[in-house]
Amino acid sequence: MAYTYENLAAGAEALRQAAIKTACEQAAIPPRQEDQSGQQKLDVSAIEAAFAGVPAMFYPFLDMPRPDNFDSIFLDLRASATILMTTQNLPQPDLELTAPNNNKFSGVTTVGDNLASWSGAAAREFKSQYLDKLPAQQASQFNAVVTCMKLIQQEKAIWTEARKNVAEIVNQAIDVLENMPRRCSKDNWTVAFTVVAAVAGIAAVPLGVATAGTGVLVGLAVVDKVAGGASLFMEDDPPENRRFAASTADGVIREVDRGLKELIARIVEQEGKIATVFSGANSVVRDERQSFVPKQPLLAKATPENITEQDFLGFSS
């Protein structure tokens, strides 16, 4: 029987039973109690005690995040990206962001043209410092949301693959134990660790779009303040085949323990990469705020009493 993550606890118990059975066979202990000597019965009790902790080895994996828990976050982000998406944004088919149908922001140009005829300082400032910069800032916001979407995809992938990997560790070990007592015994095996956070491409894409007069192009791959800097994201870690070998039941369980610890270490490492990119993105948005968020225009301070003064709208020619 091949076990999956959904019945991992049963698989861990099956592994314990297989280890006990194989250890008894390797010790030449008869399977039936009535055929065992007094010493052999004591040996069976000692073997059972030795493998009693096998199920507990899998406890850290039983409460891993459910991959589908990330779906609602992804959908919320996609809804935000859809609102922000205009013709200046490239479609993202892998994120189901296709040709934009949002034309509401096209009115920015019309408003800017209408303000050109007003004489007030706030009117001129609103056009040059707010309306003219808004398309680039909106594109930067879109990029930031898309970055979060891609990272959530990678987060979901980590836990999807982690479930497969831990189930494979169980299945391979049981297979080895069941075949070990036979003449053509199998004493080595391979488990593919496919837990990967593919963040290199995400980190290398500019997050902010240059706004008029700033010349800022912010790429996560060149943000020195992120721990590790650009070198951290030169390459993604590929899936890795981990080799295991043992010639006894006890040896197999020790190898399983090693495999589980190595899998945990890989999960932590890949999670760390995602966290670093998230932190880097936050740093970019915070430090280059003008590339993402318009500053408050002078017109926001206008009142019905002073709106026509030269400090605000003035008059239209």
- Per-residue pLDDT of 227-272, as tens digits, reads 444 444 446 788 999 999 999 999 999 999 999 999 999 999 999 9
Give the pLDDT mean for 77-103.
Answer: 79
- Write the pLDDT tens digit of every residue in 167-211: 999 999 999 999 886 645 667 899 999 998 888 777 767 776 654
* CB 159, CB 65: distance < 8 Å: yes
The predicted structure's pLDDT at residue 224: 43
45 vs 227, residue with greater confidence: 45
- Residue 232 is predicted with a pLDDT of 47
**43: enclosing H helix or E strand:** helix 38-50
Q: Give the pLDDT score at 186.
A: 67
